[in-house]
Structure 1
Amino acid sequence: MTTRIAPGVGANLLGQHSAERNQDATVYVGNLEPKATEEILWELFVQAGPVVNVYVPKDRVTNAHQGYGFVEFRSEEDADYAIKVLNMIKLYGKAIRVNKASQDKKSVDVGANLFIGNLDPDVDEKLLYDTFSAFGVIVTNPKIMRDPETGNSRGFGFISYDSFDASDAAIETMNGQYLCNRQITVSYAYKKDTKGERHGTPAERLLAANSSNNAQRSRPHTMFASGPPTQQMFASGTPTQQNGTVVRPPFANGTVPSAPIRMPPPPPQSAYQQLWRPPPPPQQLGGGGPHPMHQQPPMMMHMTAQPPPPPPQQMGGVPHPMMHMSQPPPQQMGGGPHPMMQQQQQQQQPMMMHMTQPPPQPQ
């Protein structure tokens, strides 16, 4: 007779009756070493999530457990996580099997048994399980044949699937591939008590197709596929999940910034800008280069984006010669010309008027 002790006491942590347990949040633990106790299972599985109960059936006469037990978590998510991280780990030298308690019913051997040859000595049962469970549900623990005295691998093992679809996919994909620096061979194993006949015959496939066990099939191991949902990108660059919901990154102030504002196109030019174009430079006497007035100072081209106002005209319509002989005067803080430059221009203006007066034009 078993008694239930509340979780956390630490002594003989027995669980509820199977009918009272939350089956979705309960995992089955098999292939236990006789030295494994309820306390050890509690300490091991509490690393995956909060444990509610641990139940290990025991023999009433010898008080020894029967090699399996059940661990109940608070949520189904914790149970799924425990299956991913604790399945096939070694406890006292034996690889334990962890799966959903609702899936622990004895699986019918349909004959999808594979032989794995040329194994590297470093390959253990967990590595075989993690590798081959990607193709389907493995009904029994992978078995590696070992030397009974030393425990070293003999270089081959066996794996059994719940369907021939999974075993066919494993053979097609893994046969001839490298596992721990050795090219392994994957094929159907020989049947027991037969003369060289392998599994995977048409008769076995027909029986497996008609088996009622295939009506409710467990999902394959998803250790390599687990992770955040893949994100797709809209044309605008916004990531979305598979269900189409928009994923926006969190921000400290709780607000989501709007889309970046694009710069508007340049406004259309005004009538003055459209009409104003620098006229073609008039030729000097003798067919020389353009008039010095029409040589825009390079500094002025960078200082302003608007076209400069037309230059002041002297009497007679001739541009002032000082406009092309010097750089633009420095500006004051208020925007006017510097007083020293203005005084120099007033002193030089009468003299330059006599020096640069153009000859009279012929009538």
Structure 2
Amino acid sequence: MSKVYINAGAAISAQATFDGGFLENAVINRQDVFLPAIEPDYKAFISPVASRRMSKAVKMAIIASAQALNESGVSVPDAIITGTGAGCIIDSEKFLKAIIDNDEQFLTPTSFIQSTHNTVGAQIALGLNCKGYNFTYVNGAVSFESALLDAIMQIELQQANNVLVGGVDEMTPYFLELQQMIGHAKSDIATVGSVQSEGAGFFVLANTPTESTYAAIEDVTLYNKLSIAELPSFITGFLRKHHLEPSQIDLVVAGNNGDVFDDYYDKAAHLFRNYAITVQYKQLTGEYFTVSAFALWLASRIIKEQHIPEILKPHAVKHKAIKNVLIYNQYRGLDHSLILLKRV
């Protein structure tokens, strides 16, 4: 079976992560319940005429994928695989509003066509003239991990040599209000739920390493429902598949988001308390369905540069070589995922 390498990556988030830096100027916003993505200059990548017809998710994905491809030196990938939880929800809302406003008559199909979840992958492919495998996964909080699993299998089964894989989600005021009504998002900073956000992360995976390689992906696993008591055996079982013990993990990237389900992350951190550094990142990015794409960008950059950004460092951390990294994410006690990365 082929090894799978991350040869390039790009992220658009609530921090200035698109400018080539590595969270040097990151700030933690403790006042707002929604953290919008910091958008790059779209005109540098997309014509203004085309940009006006694109949702924010499509524009973020096109630009993040273009940066990743440029870094990898790959002009056209063999496959494009995308994960998204909410898709192009801005256009979905436009179409639903038009149905109501026009009494279900004389509707134009534009917003409906552009609202489908696979619009993102399709627009990337059209821009690249890529006629290869193109698939979109809509699987809640593991949408990105599902896409990542498919990308790994495409390479391992020798169906593709280079795969563009990513996750993207956008937020609207109405969708945020719905999330707040059901208690998934904070209405104010003191209420239950998580701080919401949006973003995009895209990567070029390949079967051979290059000078730009960040890390190797050893494995990805998903599990829908786990009790906190079952979590340690889930993690240790996953590691033992790769002949690893908790003592051999150097860094854990955990998705704590401040809601009442952070007990899962506390349990995971306790498992590695004597061995690994644990860092949290959602205080910088907020929560959205495919935020684990940012976690992969962060973890792979840490491995490549052997440096943890100061804003993420726990106190009194002793510097050591970072070889094995585990990413753990879950959403409201469900959709648990583990990603294991290794230094090349």
The TM-score with structure 2 as length reference comes to 0.24
Looking at secondary structure, tell me which structure has more strand per residue. 2
- Report which of the two structures shows the higher radius of gyration computed on alpha carbons: 1
The TM-score with structure 1 as length reference comes to 0.23
> Of the two structures, which has the highest relative contact order with CA contacts closer than 8 Å and spacing of 6 or more?
2
Looking at secondary structure, tell me which structure has more helix per residue. 2
